[in-house]
Amino acid sequence: MRVVSGTAKGRPLKSVPGTGTRPTTDKVKEAIFSMIGPYFDGGAALDLFAGSGGLGIEALSRGMDSAVFIDMEPKAIDTVRENLKAARLENKAEVYRNDANKALAALEKRGRSFDLVFLDPPYRHKFGDELMAIMAGKGLLRQNAVIVLEHESGYEYPEHISGYSRLRYALYGETAVSIYCYGSGSETDMGEGALE
């Protein structure tokens, strides 16, 4: 794994030791950012099931001002910190060990809000839409915030989730990516796609 583009392009990233996390491949990462960016003029990102931190770090490298990384696993938190240091982006990041629901409550208390959110929960959990509803209810999303939801290709989330419209759905082998926009009210169609 590496940083694909931006200020930290080419910097190698470590995977979380063990088999508990499933890192987003460079191919899928590049595809995601070609759909949502590929570059950003500032903004705040949230990487909620951070794993190695690869998606949030890529967002910082491509122009996001700041990112919050959250994971429950101590090994993942250590890996995120190492990868941020390797990418020289630690000054733009906050890293917390917490579960998703407690983390969202803590972020609400701090009055935080985000332009870009990465949701990559373990594939056995099918609660991405519930987390999106919680984020909206807690005021954690700015207008037109983009949510990138990774899930197994055998499961499909609805096109419309309260307050969100799906902009894009794409398949990459066993991985599916659903991209949603929050609060725009638009029915923008970025098209459907598949990459084998």
How many domains would you assign to the chain?
1
Read off the pLDDT of residues 127-174 as tens digits, 9 standing for 90 and up. 999 999 999 999 999 999 999 999 999 898 999 888 999 999 999 988
User: Is residue 16 assigned to a domain?
Assistant: no
CATH number at residue 168: 3.40.50.150
Residue 155 maps to a domain: yes
80 domain-assigned: yes
pTM of this prediction? 0.91
What would the 3-class secondary structure string for 42-92 be? CCEEEECCCCCCHHHHHHHHCCCCEEEEEECCHHHHHHHHHHHHHCCCHHH
Has residue 174 been placed in a domain?
yes
pLDDT one-digit tens code per residue, 10-69: 999 999 988 566 777 888 899 999 999 999 999 999 999 999 999 999 999 999 999 999
Expressed as residue numbers, the domain containing 168 is 28-194
Residue 116 falls inside a structural domain: yes
Does residue 185 surpass a pLDDT of 70? no
Q: What is the dihedral of CA 47, 107, 100, 118, to 10 degrees?
A: -20
11, part of any domain: no
- Binned at pLDDT 50, 70 and 90, residue 194 comes out as very low
Q: Is residue 15 part of a domain?
A: no
